[in-house]
Amino acid sequence: MENKAKFLDRLKTFPKRFALGIFHFFMRLIFGIGRFFKNIYLAAKNHPKSFISGLLSFFLIGTGQLRNKQWYKAIPFFTILLIFVLFEIFTSNYIYAISGEIQDYPAQDGIFYFFRDYGGFLTSGLWGFFTLGRLVLGDMYRGERIVTYDRVLTWKSADNSQVLLGEGIIALVLVVIFIITWIFSIRDAYQSHKTFVETGKVEDVKTFFKRVWTDYFAYIIIIPSAILIFTFTLIPFLFSFLVAFTNWTERISLGQMLFKWTFFDTFKMVFTEAAWLKFFTDVLSWTLIYAFMSSVTVYALGFIQAMIIESKYVVYKKFWRTILILPWAIPGVISLMLFRNVFADNGGLLNQILVQFNAVESTKSILSSLGLVNQVDPGNILWLTSPANGSLAKILVIIVNLWLGYPYFMMLITGVLGTIPDSLYEAAEIDGANAPQKFRYITLPMVLRATAPVIITTFTFNFNNFGAIYFLTSGGPGYPIDQIPEAVRVLGAQPGQTDILISWIYKLSFGSANDQYNLASVYSILIFVFISLAAIYNLSKLKSFWEED
Amino acid sequence: MENKAYKMTFKMKVSRFFRTLTLKKFILGLLAQLWLIMMALIVLTPVLWMISAAFTNGTNLTQVPIYPKFSQWSFANYQYLFTYTSSTQAGALPDYVDSFLTTLIIAVASMVMVVIFSSLVGFSFSRYKFRGKKQVLLGMMALQMFPSFMGMLALFMFFRQFELLNKPLALALIYVAGSIPYNTFIVRGFMRNIPKSLDEAAFIDGASNLQTLFKIIIPLAVPIMGFIAVNAFMGPWLDYILPSVIMPQKITVAVWLFRFMNPLGSTYSPLRFMAGALFLTVPIMIVQIFMQRYLVYGLTAGAEKG
């Protein structure tokens, strides 16, 4: 009871705490900036000589280190600078600009087109990132009509926003990396000179590298992984995240390779346009039901199986366990595709069995009296494909997930059951407890406590369980045609009745001819927010995660 | 000692069973066995049907008998799988074998790299205190929650631009980057349980960081690394979505198989799919069943330690 009151109280005060949190964040930001400048001022005032080293590195990266007589630090900094400058120059067309080709520049909408035409990877990348391109095929530009997507002579080609955004992000990341290195070099020049003044000694090469190797070992062994995650996960995610704030779909579907920053327009559309809102609420509610039901059923069946196999009434425990574990040993994708065949309309195992036992009509009538089968066409039951049998398909999706998922929990709970001390049960027996009481007051609480985090992880996993839907039903059956709002009927991006958010996102991004990529991004962000709430809740329960020893 | 010496024979077990048999025990035992038989049927029927379909000569599901008829079994599907060579691959290996090898390269490469990288990162996070550690951990947690294929379009574009499409090792790098965060948590959870006094003793004896890692921690962490290795191999082994985008020409075995399952395609043949899938499943099944206890142990270890 106390917990419930506490929870409600926290829920009530949530908006207040949320607002306070944001306020706190901004105050910290402002004070942080203030403290930054104060520190610089103090450094200049208290250690003017060391400050000069920092200042030198500020104007030309690495010179401060030279002044400190630390050539082994200056060389890497110079090399980095050189790499960036050469990279910019060799990817640019500055040579054309210098050779006199440059004329008066169109500067429409306050945009300076010079970097578009002549800039190197970094500058033209930044240009592309902020503008996302302006010129489409057929536009007049500098006295010529644009007719191609030419990658070499950039000024004669139309802009492709997808490429510009991609290159822009890479350029932005590179520039940020450079700036961080720069700041680092300034700090280092100042600090090294300070230690030099204090101790009167300059570290020689050998001791420096040895010190770095031992003191920063924790960082050094992370670096390769960090680079991998950065390039193959973070930057692509950043791209997708940013697409949510563009009007990708509108323009790409018109055949132009150009889109714009529209900021929150897509978010607004998702929540205000009735057609999209209907689909979103439908899909979201099914996603929640699916995630909840599949986790609960899997857990319950796993629990029951573990109890039965471990009970004293069962002989040949090992034999049964090996058979019942089988679904776990088969790769999930294969099982799902297998079940797609089991439920196939013609020749599927289930329909074949029904035909064999002459039970098609009776099964159909039972299912239709439950309201699950409403199909008009005679013959075999259309388990997963008839728009009229939507709820049947949904139930089957959960059942198939149950088939796939229970062995894991069976094994998990079997393991937990083994850890419950027998003395507990013996004590309960002496106190006169019967079997249900022993289950209710000993087994259940012990198992639940041990597996609680796993339940939440399973829920979040099922929330995003793309494969379970895609490989079994591909989201089908579709909605009956009269239930699809007019506004989205043409787009070919409607979800099916068993589509969960993640599989719908897949359809939106890769499914139809006109990629609804910004919509997909918006929904991904929503999923992310939802899942992270669940995960934060889970983490807050896990004390061991935060314990540092 | 006494317990060890006293071992019940089967006969003794049977006699004890009947001696202690009560009506309640009999009924409950019967119900439990019936339930288990029913569950076993539900589990085994689709699997047996799959095996039967794999060895049926034909292209349609309707040709698969409900009761397996061993006399009619044929290897026609397997013959097709292991001999079919498309015109685009003239002179090379049969398509299925080729894509099998491609997938093997991807899976093994990602397995090796995942084990190396995540044990390094896990070691760093379990043993050292440094600035930004909590933030990085939280960030990795958040990374796992973003739908993984959202980055796919960008990856495709970058790969096209840098001409990395159809390169198995480049694809393996994506898998590695994607699975480092999750595996790091597992390794970290495991390594935190290795007593620190071992490190300290090594430090006093003059061992360097690297020596501590390779001579002391890694040998003790072999079980968890085995778990990670199996997972890292399984992940790419039958992945479909990512290879279908990143490897449009040099297709993996999963992509190859799923072509048989597209009812609108010209290659639609569920029986061939069953045959190919069975071929891929059996080794994995054997590994999983034999390493059962070990794998579940890893799963719970990862789950409980966060």
All structural domains of chain A with their residue ranges? 1-46, 273-343+383-546
* Residue A94 neighbours by CB distance under 10 Å: 16
Tokens standing for B32? 């439990």
A310 forms beta bridges with none
Contact B117, B176 (CB under 8 A): yes
State the helix-helix crossing angle for A274-310 and A317-329, rounded to 10 degrees.
160
Q: Look over chain A and give the mean of its residue pLDDT values, rounded to a whole number.
A: 86
Lowest mean pLDDT among A104-113, A237-246, B185-194, B255-264: A104-113
Query: At A492, is the pLDDT very low, low, confident or very high (cuts 50, 70, 90)?
Result: low
* Percent of chain B predicted with pLDDT > 90: 25
Identify the pLDDT of residue B162: 86
Distances (CA, A) of A35 to A42, A53, A159, A501, B129: 10, 21, 43, 45, 25
pLDDT higher than threshold 80 for residue A75: yes
CA distance A455 to A461: 10
CA distance A8 to B181: 34
The H or E element that residue B25 is part of is helix B23-54
Out of A147-156, A298-307, A366-375, the most confident range is A298-307
To test the contact with chain A by mutation, choose from B16, B56, B146, B260 the residue with the greatest count of A C-beta atoms within 10 A, namely B146
What CATH number does the domain containing B127 carry? 1.10.3720.10
Q: Which residues of B touch A340 (CB under 8 A)?
A: 261
CA distance B269 to B260: 5
* Start-to-end CA span in chain B (Å): 40
Decide if B117 is inside a domain: yes
Distant-in-sequence, close-in-space partners of A306: CB < 8 Å, separation ≥ 6: A409, A410, A411, A413, A414, A417
Lowest mean pLDDT among A484-493, B163-172, B197-206: A484-493
Query: At A324, is the pLDDT very low, low, confident or very high (cuts 50, 70, 90)?
Result: very high
Identify the pLDDT of residue B300: 58
Lowest mean pLDDT among A207-216, A531-540, B59-68, B221-230: A531-540
Quick check: B142 and A532 CB within 8 A? yes
| A329-347 average pLDDT score | 91
Among B61, B240, B289, select the one facing A347 at the smallest CB separation: B61
CATH code, A273-343+383-546: 1.10.3720.10
Quick check: B154 and A466 CB within 8 A? no
pLDDT higher than threshold 70 for residue B302: no
Phi and psi for B95 in degrees, rounded to 5?
-55, -45
A125 CA to centre of own chain? 25
B-chain residue closest to A218, CA distance: B124
| B253-269 average pLDDT score | 85
- Residue A145 in 3-state DSSP? strand
Decide if B61 is inside a domain: no
Q: Which residues of A touch B40 (CB under 8 A)?
A: 320, 323-324
* Residue A487 neighbours by CB distance under 10 Å: 12
Tokens standing for A286? 């099914």
Total domains in chain B come to 1
Identify the pLDDT of residue B304: 44
Decide if B129 is inside a domain: yes
Q: Which residues of B touch A460 (CB under 8 A)?
A: 145
Residue pLDDT, tens place only, B82-136: 888 876 655 567 888 888 999 999 999 999 999 999 999 999 998 888 888 888 8
- Report yes or no for ipTM above 0.85: yes
Distant-in-sequence, close-in-space partners of B269: CB < 8 Å, separation ≥ 6: B59, B260
CA distance A331 to A76: 49
Decide if B189 is inside a domain: yes
pLDDT higher than threshold 60 for residue A330: yes
Identify the pLDDT of residue A183: 94
Residue pLDDT, tens place only, A146-199: 777 766 666 678 888 888 899 999 999 999 999 999 999 999 999 999 999 998
A104 CA to chain B: closest CA distance, Å?
A: 32
CA distance B216 to B225: 14
What's the alpha-carbon Rg for chain A, to the nearest Å? Answer: 32
Quick check: B178 and A233 CB within 8 A? yes
Among B50, B297, B306, select the one facing A545 at the smallest CB separation: B306
Q: Which residues of B touch A334 (CB under 8 A)?
A: 238, 277, 280-281
Identify the pLDDT of residue B1: 41
CA distance B57 to B69: 12
pLDDT higher than threshold 80 for residue A108: no
Identify the pLDDT of residue A469: 93
| A1-20 average pLDDT score | 76
Distant-in-sequence, close-in-space partners of A320: CB < 8 Å, separation ≥ 6: A309, A314, B36, B40
- Give exposure, B8-42, as e/b (b: 16+ Cβ within 10 Å): eeeeeeeeeeeeeeeeeeeebbeebbeebeebeee
Identify the pLDDT of residue A544: 54
To test the contact with chain B by mutation, choose from A334, A506, A521 the residue with the greatest count of B C-beta atoms within 10 A, namely A334
The amino acid that residue A459 corresponds to is F
Identify the pLDDT of residue B303: 45
Distances (CA, A) of A319 to A374, B11, B232: 42, 20, 29
Query: At A252, is the pLDDT very low, low, confident or very high (cuts 50, 70, 90)?
Result: low
CA distance A456 to B306: 12
The string of DSSP codes covering A378-432 is -SS--TTT-GGGHHHHHHHHHHHHHHHHHHHHHHHHHHHHHHS-HHHHHHHHHTT
Lowest mean pLDDT among A136-145, A391-400, B111-120, B266-275: A136-145
More confident residue, A109 or A460: A460
| A349-363 average pLDDT score | 89
What's the alpha-carbon Rg for chain B, to the nearest Å? Answer: 26
Strand duo A144-145 + A140-141: pairing: antiparallel
User: What is the dihedral angle through the alpha carbons of B250, B252, B257, B262, rounded to the nearest 10 degrees?
Assistant: -60
Quick check: B127 and A222 CB within 8 A? no
* Percent of chain A predicted with pLDDT > 70: 92
Quick check: A505 and B150 CB within 8 A? yes
Query: At A105, is the pLDDT very low, low, confident or very high (cuts 50, 70, 90)?
Result: low
Q: Which residues of A touch B46 (CB under 8 A)?
A: 335, 338-339, 342, 349
A-chain residue closest to B234, CA distance: A331
pLDDT higher than threshold 90 for residue A301: yes
Identify the pLDDT of residue A255: 63
| A471-488 average pLDDT score | 83
Identify the pLDDT of residue A23: 92
Identify the pLDDT of residue A542: 61
The H or E element that residue A141 is part of is strand A140-141
pLDDT higher than threshold 90 for residue A76: yes
Decide if B112 is inside a domain: yes
Q: Which residues of A touch B292 (CB under 8 A)?
A: 325, 411
Quick check: A506 and B285 CB within 8 A? no
Residue in the block written with tokens 């939280």: B138
Domain that holds residue B283: 87-305
Contact B51, B281 (CB under 8 A): no
| B64-73 average pLDDT score | 82
Quick check: B151 and A236 CB within 8 A? yes
B-chain residue closest to A302, CA distance: B39
Quick check: B150 and A521 CB within 8 A? yes
| B162-174 average pLDDT score | 92
Identify the pLDDT of residue B88: 65
Identify the pLDDT of residue A497: 92
Identify the pLDDT of residue A549: 44
- Give exposure, A464-474, as e/b (b: 16+ Cβ within 10 Å): bbbbbbbbbbb
Longest dimension (CA), chain A: 101
Tokens standing for A276? 């999209």
Identify the pLDDT of residue A153: 66
Among B47, B62, B234, select the one facing A347 at the smallest CB separation: B62
Query: At B306, is the pLDDT very low, low, confident or very high (cuts 50, 70, 90)?
Result: very low
Out of A274-288, A534-548, B88-102, the most confident range is A274-288
B-chain residue closest to A472, CA distance: B261
Identify the pLDDT of residue B7: 66
CA distance A190 to B73: 80
More confident residue, A119 or A255: A119
Query: At A499, is the pLDDT very low, low, confident or very high (cuts 50, 70, 90)?
Result: very high
Phi and psi for A425 in degrees, rounded to 5?
-65, -40
